[in-house]
Amino acid sequence: MDKTILITGGAGFIGSHLVRLFVNKYPNYKVVNLDKLTYAGNLANLSDIENAINYEFVKGDIVDADFINGLFRKHQFDAVIHLAAESHVDRSIEGPMDFVMTNIVGTANLLNAAKSLWQGDYTNKLFYHVSTDEVYGSLGEEGMFLETTPYDPRSPYSASKASSDHLVRAYHHTYGLPIVISNCSNNYGSHQFPEKLIPLFINNIKNNKPLPVYGKGENIRDWLWVEDHARAIDVIFHQGKNAETYNIGGHNEWTNIDLIKVICQVMDEKLGRAKGESEQLITYVTDRAGHDMRYAIDATKLKEELGWIPSLQFEEGIRNTIDWYLNNEEWLNNVTSGAYQNYYEQQYADR
């Protein structure tokens, strides 16, 4: 094997797409997937590659420093691609401390383990931190996030991700650790846990449940197909410059309500319902506390310096995504049984 790479959070939504890409595309890399398997992690996401010879799964918690140090000593990693995180804004509002522990302390543990294993010999070593555009805060009607936009996180989730970004940069400046960071906009696609907008609404439409639109539905998000995010990480991992930040986005802004109407229209078609039937499920509910108004990424640097552009147009991507959730009923039923029901009732009861 040419390299041993640690991917953290590989059983989650984006991580599973990245692990699949790397295991299939790079047979000469050993990929170790470390994941705690929280409610958001699911090994069924990787059943197609679980027996690959260049793949190993390890269950563990990045908050456990002794365990992490032992894992680095055992596998002698050449590189880390760090995705493990608590990732849902609404959960961070209900319970910020899991976010502080996993996203901040967990990232610090990984940085310490890499620093201690590599001992200042950084030849062909890399710590790649996967972050979010939410660290930049909230935009008004104009402008886009650039790599140089000052940080202004507003939710416990985005504040914990911003803290982890700062730690990663600090380990570069202080100890010379080779790092890259990418900040991506909202992802959509297969295998996303149905607490996030798109899979939640697909599932609710399918089950004729209300579609809880926060506030007036006027907030804007910039949506990127998850496999394009994984491709961007691949490009940045191999060609990105040491200590640089790259924004990743699809130039694909939608107000929530317009996006929801598109999902409703496609679902009517797919389920053989009358036109407009699913839209009747739209229910306006109390807004999210501190709800960021608009995110929009300027990904020019990634395009001009590393040649990455999104491969899939949104109209096609959202249809593929809806098809995937409708064709993978067992996956959806498995992740929405048990604890999911309690979460759902608690989250939406008072809205």
Q: Which residue ranges make up the site for ligand NAD (CB under 6 A)?
A: 8-9, 11-15, 35-38, 40-41, 61-63, 83-87, 102, 106, 130, 132, 161, 184, 186-187, 193
Cα angle value 256/260/265 (rounded, 5°): 155
Minimum CB separation of residue 189 from ligand NAD in Å reads 10
Q: Which is nearer to ligand TYD, 61 or 195 (CB)?
A: 195
Annotated catalytic residue 228: no
**Ramachandran region of residue 240, left (φ > 0), alpha (ψ -120 to 50) or beta?**
beta
Minimum CB separation of residue 214 from ligand TYD in Å reads 4
Annotated catalytic residue 142: no
Q: Which does 14 bind (CB under 5 to 8 A by kind): ligand NAD, ligand TYD, none?
A: ligand NAD
- Catalytic, out of 35, 86, 133, 147: 133
Annotated catalytic residue 269: no
Q: Which is nearer to ligand TYD, 13 or 77 (CB)?
A: 13
Q: Which is nearer to ligand NAD, 18 or 211 (CB)?
A: 18
Given the rule CB under 6 A, which residues bind ligand TYD? Answer: 89, 186, 196-197, 200, 212-214, 219, 221, 256, 288
Q: Which is nearer to ligand NAD, 118 or 193 (CB)?
A: 193
Closest CA to 297 of 247, 224, 235, 240: 247
Q: Which does 104 bind (CB under 5 to 8 A by kind): ligand NAD, ligand TYD, none?
A: none
Q: Which does 9 bind (CB under 5 to 8 A by kind): ligand TYD, ligand NAD, none?
A: ligand NAD
Q: Which does 61 bind (CB under 5 to 8 A by kind): ligand TYD, ligand NAD, none?
A: ligand NAD
Sign of CA dihedral 250, 17, 76, 62: positive
Q: Which does 200 bind (CB under 5 to 8 A by kind): ligand NAD, ligand TYD, none?
A: ligand TYD
Q: Which does 89 bind (CB under 5 to 8 A by kind): ligand NAD, ligand TYD, none?
A: ligand TYD
Q: Which is nearer to ligand TYD, 115 or 196 (CB)?
A: 196
- Catalytic, out of 134, 147, 195, 253: 134
CA atoms within 13 A on the CB side of 234: 21
Q: Which is nearer to ligand NAD, 130 or 281 (CB)?
A: 130
Q: Which is nearer to ligand TYD, 42 or 186 (CB)?
A: 186
- Catalytic, out of 136, 157, 188, 246: 157
Minimum CB separation of residue 277 from ligand NAD in Å reads 29
Beta partners for 82? 8, 129
Minimum CB separation of residue 208 from ligand NAD in Å reads 26
Q: Which does 214 bind (CB under 5 to 8 A by kind): ligand NAD, ligand TYD, none?
A: ligand TYD
250 near 317, Cβ under 8 Å?
no
Residue nearest to ligand NAD (CB): 12
Catalytic residue list? 133-134, 157
